[in-house]
Structure 1
Amino acid sequence: MHGFAGSRAGIKTILAVSPMSADGRHLTGDDALVFDGHANHPTPEGPRFYKRHGYYYIFAPAGGVATGWQPVLRAKSMYGPYEERIVLDQGKTAINGPHQGAWADTDTGEDWFLHFQDQGPYGRVVHLQPMSWKNDWPIIGEDPDGDGKGQPVLTHRKPAVKSKVPPLAMPPTSDEFSGSGLGLQWQWHANPQNYWAYLNSPQGYLRLYSVLLPENYRNLWQLPNLLLQKLPAETFTATTKLMFTSRVDGEKVGLMLMGLATPTFC
């Protein structure tokens, strides 16, 4: 099951089923177009294919990243014809564009749905929604009016699992550079190279090496060796300690806020 990227394929808003070999290495036949979303569900993408109780289901987000919703299609044959239904949208909540996720079930028989929310400069935040079934249609989140279309929950209990329940945790933000590697909160602007940084964990510091600017340098978007973290909250304070040793004229070091506009040095 796949969609089409308009920027590369020249077409979009349709979904196709392709027969594959058992090992998944090659196709064994032509695509079959099974869904056209132009009328009600523009730009379906990232489809997921499932089978339950004799139905084939396609979970395919639509409507755009920040403004979309979560349609589900079902049919008795993988080639259709498919019925369609919106099973999750923003509703009366502040969680915009809830879609583009995946169905997950636990070892205790519960169903859950993972999706993202586009929060602009704060990135795409992942949400976990409870999921149930009614008349072989999924209901995601809460359905206060009972129409089968859910909206995101703002608070909810954690999934029940047979294994030991992990404690509440928050994504890490601070890093004393005392471990064997960088914390998972860090990311490089491009695929990292070994000569960009040296982690001196016994002393608790990270040494960053200067890298020559590329030819035709225009701005920091072109630099791969930027060590970044996503913004952790709408308001926050960042504290760090730097020691700068310049070896040639023109070298610079600093903190910056990196975004779509010109990066801002702090």
Structure 2
Amino acid sequence: MSRPISSLLLALVLACITSQPLSAAPAPKEMQVDPAHNPLIWADVPDIAIIRVGKTYYMSSTTMHMSPGLPIMKSTDLVNWTMASYAYQTLADNDALRLENGKNAYGEGSWASSLRYHDGVFHASTFAANTGRTHIYTTRDPERGPWKETSFEPLLGDHSLFFDDDGRVYMVYGGGRIMLTEMKPDLSGIKPGGVNKVIVENVNALFGADQGGLKGEGSQLFKANGRYYLFNIASPGSRWARTVTIHRADAIDGPYEGRIALDDRGIAQGGLIDTPEGKWYAYLFKDNAAVGRIPYLVPVTWKDGWPVLGENGKAPMTLDIPAGAQGVSGASGIVASDEFDRRPGDPALPLAWQWNHNPKPHDWSLTKRPGYLSLTTSRVVPTLLEAPNTLTQRTFGPSSSATTRIDVSGMKDGDWAGLSAFQRQYGFVGVKMSDGARSLVMVSAETDKPEEFASIPLSGKTVHLRVDCDFEPAPEIARFSYSLDGKTWTPIGRPSRLKYTFPHFMGYRFGLFYYSTKTAGGRVDFDYYRVGQGTEDRR
């Protein structure tokens, strides 16, 4: 097994690394503290919901067709986030989520979540098109669980769960036309005879005659200073520009009055959070092309009972919060290197890992060959998009890299294995087995059809693989290379264009994969997985 030198065992790169942040005002070196900066996390962490419990913040997000899903993150400063848990291991068990019988759940799975804390219980809720249901997960301990699921029909899209002061509980949901629906006290479904009414007939009416565009969605409901505040996103008809809209009311069922709250670079969708010291912020996200939808934190002041977002109508890049260790995370972080060594009591996989769709438990192992991730195949598929047990982590900006070493001695004819920049229009470097011979290959599906751009005979049984993703400057590309000794890297093929596409609706991920196109039953072993900041950190 190949192991990194000690310098590579230092702090792991988190996706919130940005370009050079602005420094604080000059101060003695030992006293100087850099401010935090936007984006908070330069990686795909969309549809965020944030709550504060005492002095600790918790955040949920969307991961759609990935398993486990509905990630829960934790912070003590609103800036530095670590993974706490997932609300579920698998959303449901059906053909689409298993990638079986020609079906898939790309762009489905769980969508925009809501996160609440009430009477000592954490509630993470979501909805899913491929189950047709609304799902609510509860626990008293978001780090250790267990999470208990309740689900019901119908699907309440882009909902916001809300516990009112009088003990009643509601969901606000809808697109364009926003509904308020009262829930049963045990959250098992809609309350018969309860409140069920339209509270905003048309969010986009705020644009006057310039309606159309994105219909108001992404509801998040809050109560502050005795009033109810409803956040949505929408866009005018003349241009696609996500904006933040806010409606307020003195009673939960209205009447509501609204205004446009922020129109800046498409930074939108989210809500309000306050600090123990009484500061207010809006948490939002920005569509940032191939890397995905990335979180921003925007200061909030109050004027005439309205939250005022940003500074002079803009989301500032520098924040009035100390950066701390922003840009770095530990082994349970949002991204994490992994040597695949496990001691007794260790979790099978760090929380940074997610499978593409539901995993096949019998086709992966960390014990068949200790210190390695072993992947086997039990069925035949045509391409990487149909392959089960692709193990993924987020890419991050402005550039990032992933490396691995793979033992391919157990491959069969028609097998493919390697390391991918994974989305619908993926690219990868890997090994294929054809007519009894192994070849190093580089493949790109940037035109939606996988095309082999390089093939080099591989005489040995092991090889190191590397993918570098550059998200700035444009064009966004992935570059691929290999090494026979883990020290000297040789480019292979050509750069592959990266493009945020539907139906995946997700930023690019690094993925370890293995699939069979002719005969199942082969095996490959991955020795390690290491993340870095891109080209400059080549070893």
Residue 250 of structure 1 corresponds to: 414
Residue 335 of structure 2 corresponds to: 172
1:187 aligns with 2:350: no
Shift of 1:154: 0.6
Matches within 5 A, 1:36-75: 36-40=202-206, 42-63=214-235, 67-75=241-249
Shift of 1:45: 1.6
Residue 254 of structure 2 corresponds to: 80
Q: Deviations over 1:14-54 (max 9, x none)?
A: 10112333333332335211211243364222212222223
- Between stretches 24-33 and 70-79, larger displacement belongs to 24-33
What SS does the aligned partner of 1:195 have? helix
Residue 129 of structure 2 corresponds to: none
Q: Deviations over 1:86-141 (max 9, x none)?
A: 22221xxxxx3212213122222222222111122211111222222121111222
1:29 aligns with 2:194: yes
Matches within 5 A, 1:5-20: 12-20=175-183
AA aligned to 1:135 is D
- Report the structure, 1 or 2, having the larger strand content: 2
Taking the aligned partners of 1:104 and 1:62, their CA distance within structure 2 comes to 21
Shift of 1:13: 0.8
Residue 158 of structure 1 corresponds to: 321
> Structure 1 length as normaliser, TM-score?
0.77
AA aligned to 1:31 is N
Shift of 1:59: 1.1
The answer to whether the 8 A contact 1:55-1:77 is kept is yes
Taking the aligned partners of 1:249 and 1:20, their CA distance within structure 2 comes to 55
Taking the aligned partners of 1:155 and 1:200, their CA distance within structure 2 comes to 46
1:230 aligns with 2:394: yes
AA aligned to 1:37 is V
1:89 aligns with 2:263: yes
Taking the aligned partners of 1:156 and 1:202, their CA distance within structure 2 comes to 47
Aligned residue among 293, 300, 303 for 1:124: 293
Taking the aligned partners of 1:138 and 1:154, their CA distance within structure 2 comes to 19
AA aligned to 1:235 is S
The answer to whether the 8 A contact 1:2-1:45 is kept is no
Residue 15 of structure 2 corresponds to: none
Residue 487 of structure 2 corresponds to: none
AA aligned to 2:310 is G
What SS does the aligned partner of 1:39 have? helix
Taking the aligned partners of 2:369 and 2:418, their CA distance within structure 1 comes to 24
1:108 aligns with 2:273: no
Taking the aligned partners of 1:196 and 1:130, their CA distance within structure 2 comes to 47
Taking the aligned partners of 1:227 and 1:221, their CA distance within structure 2 comes to 12
Aligned residue among 291, 306, 309 for 1:137: 306
Taking the aligned partners of 1:212 and 1:151, their CA distance within structure 2 comes to 52
Decide whether aligned partners of structure 1 residues 231 and 75 sit closer, same or farther in structure 2, where only a CA change above 3 A counts. same
Shift of 1:200: 4.8
Q: How many residues align?
A: 238
Question: Which sections of structure 1, spanning at least 5 residues, go unmatched?
Answer: 5-11, 91-95, 145-149, 160-164
Shift of 1:57: 1.1
Taking the aligned partners of 1:24 and 1:173, their CA distance within structure 2 comes to 36
What SS does the aligned partner of 1:47 have? strand
The answer to whether the 8 A contact 1:34-1:80 is kept is yes
Decide whether aligned partners of structure 1 residues 129 and 207 sit closer, same or farther in structure 2, where only a CA change above 3 A counts. same
How big is the alpha-carbon RMSD for the aligned residues of Structure 1 and Structure 2? 2.8
Taking the aligned partners of 1:115 and 1:184, their CA distance within structure 2 comes to 23
AA aligned to 2:216 is P
Q: Deviations over 1:172-230 (max 9, x none)?
A: 3422223533333322111223223222599532222224225xx4x322223211222
Taking the aligned partners of 1:132 and 1:113, their CA distance within structure 2 comes to 10
Taking the aligned partners of 1:83 and 1:259, their CA distance within structure 2 comes to 41
> Structure 2 length as normaliser, TM-score?
0.40
Question: Which sections of structure 2, spanning at least 5 residues, go unmatched?
Answer: 1-170, 208-213, 430-539
Decide whether aligned partners of structure 1 residues 109 and 30 sit closer, same or farther in structure 2, where only a CA change above 3 A counts. closer
Residue 111 of structure 2 corresponds to: none
Percentage of identical aligned residues: 31
- Between stretches 229-238 and 111-120, larger displacement belongs to 229-238
What SS does the aligned partner of 2:394 have? coil
1:265 aligns with 2:428: yes
Matches within 5 A, 1:182-221: 182-200=349-367, 204-214=371-381, 217=382, 219-221=383-385
AA aligned to 1:83 is E
Taking the aligned partners of 1:157 and 1:182, their CA distance within structure 2 comes to 36
The answer to whether the 8 A contact 1:3-1:13 is kept is no
Shift of 1:166: 6.6
Q: Deviations over 1:131-178 (max 9, x none)?
A: 221211112222x2xxxxx3212121327xxxxx97443443422223
Taking the aligned partners of 1:126 and 1:137, their CA distance within structure 2 comes to 23
Residue 162 of structure 1 corresponds to: none
Decide whether aligned partners of structure 1 residues 188 and 58 sit closer, same or farther in structure 2, where only a CA change above 3 A counts. same
Residue 128 of structure 2 corresponds to: none
The answer to whether the 8 A contact 2:262-2:309 is kept is yes
Residue 173 of structure 2 corresponds to: 3
